[in-house]
A and B are shown apart, each in its own frame.
Chain A
Amino acid sequence: MKRNPSPVTRHPSLVTRRSSPGSFLRAVAAITWKDLAAELRSRELLSSMLVFALLVILIFNFALELDVKTRSTVTAGVLWVTFAFAGTLGLNRSMAVEKDRGCLDGLLLAPVDRSAIYFGKAISNLAFMFIVEAIVLPVYSVLYNTNLFNLGLIGVILLGSVGYVAVGTLLASMAVQTRTRDVLLPILLFPVVIPVMIAAVKASSGFLQGVAASELMTWINLLIVYDVVFVAVAFMVFDYVVEE
């Protein structure tokens, strides 16, 4: 299937055994590009994540009394629960597709560093999460008449998503290889990702209530620390998770 072949997929460095940083980055870019291109064509992942996220927001309308007063305190929590659940969906599907179609085996045979596969998958998962978040925010703003276009909030969502996806991609790679598959990912992921949830909700809530950024630095620092630690650990340990 030849569409405009991007320079990335044609580049000879992908078929020679070289471990230069250039080839590593090209491998990562190739994997990310593959996921994004596939998704652009079928849109099955994005549509299911999006519909699910909107349904969760709908359910929250009935589950919690989101009247004007409580809304300001509860919005951050509702948003993050929505992102966490939709994110699980995306992570599951993204890895399941690899496993079911044998793509993972193909990727493992390629002469690239295993961690390139991790980064490629993580970046594409992150991209999907960002797209969903970018749509959920305006929809929530409209449905609940709250202005969510806050730079601080967007920054926190970025940082939180990175941490979530970093651990999520690793754990999804494990979960998809077990018998229980999809069901196992939330069980594995949620206890471990709690610091992200706490810090993200606190920081988001702060930004939405107009608190100055300097006061929220504890939470932002916590997010950054979590992101750095877990991206590092995940990519070091990914090898053990995919080896046959």
Chain B
Amino acid sequence: MPDTATAGGFLPVLAIVLPVAGVLLSLALGGRQAERVALALMPIGLAVAVAIAVGVWRTHNVLQYLVGSWDPPLGVAFRADGLSAAMLVATALLVCGIGLFARDQFSSPERLEARAPFVFWTLLLAVWGALNAVFVGGDLFNLYVALELLTFAAVPLVSLDGRAETMAAALRYLLFALFGSILYLLGAVLFYGAYGTLDIVLLSGRIRAEPTAWAAISLMTAGLLAKAALYPFHLWLPPAHAGAPAAASAILSGLVVKAPFFLVIRLWFDIMPRMPQPAAAQVLGVLGAAAIVVGSIVALRQARLKLLIAYSTVAQIGYLFLVFPLAVKPETGHPWGTFAWTGGVLQALSHAFAKAAMFMAAGLIAEALGHDRIAGLAGIGRALPITVFAFGLGGLSLMACRPAAALARKRCCWRRQSRKASGGGL
């Protein structure tokens, strides 16, 4: 299976090529066309993502493309499985929504060539392409390059307004991200040195429980945690996400932090499934729990709305990492079938939508009031009813109120947790 291209295998590649082509086209056509290029590509990209999801659903198999028909380990494979398809569709939907929202804030002026709109639309496409590359990448080094592309596209979004404080936040974000990616690369080298391949499928067949593998996967995980802003590495996130313009915050908080989380899932559930790993999963779970407590407490003490939402992201990332101790099965069998695993993925998706909605609503509130101090928000519900309603819906979704997808995931987690607790596992 790992060394054949499947029908429809070109779709994952198309998901990467489309946004990248859009970036190049925007650069070639110049400032004022960037918005049109981005808006024109959004429905096409969404259609490609849906086609991938339908393809995976129908065939119950992985869509695979081998670049240049070279088999791994020499060649590079792109694979879209069910998880990738879910992330691709969610990303495409969110990018479309954020694009519609951002038309107001970043519409290009008629005659002038403005810099901020051009940069925003180009980078929106770049983030999209990099995310898609992360979701369908099948090669650890390729994923490193995709992660770096994502960082390079996301960092300028933070400092879009060019103020000194947002640039300081962007620099701090970049330094954390570089620290993370170099650790990831170090782990990838160790994997290549030990097993002679970087392909995820081949690696999962060759890996053995030995010190090299543990060192490599620990380094990669630590690097990804720095990028995902899990608790001890969360310091860069609040200033970066709160300082960015609303549309950019929605991308950063909803989508960009999900890419490293996705890769941690790939590492532990796709490469390592045959190895005993409860201890490592417990460490991730403890960090996640600490992130929930610290993030929530600090969020409650914030005086500004956007900072509050940013700290809530820190806490929600903690929830994402709770999936590891819950979904790990020391006995035989894959973790994919467990409730907790499904719950974790649902949590990632619902957080992406809810947090993007909250940031965009907060942006509208700040625009209407001229500030986003929480103490001065009284009466905003009468002035902007729909906006506050959307904000509330996002919050309810995060709290797992009834119609929200988050309810399903919290139930999944609880069920798994209570079972584990009754079995004395936790």
Real binding pair: no
Q: Which residues of A contact B (CB under 8 A)?
A: none
Q: Which residues of B contact A (CB under 8 A)?
A: none
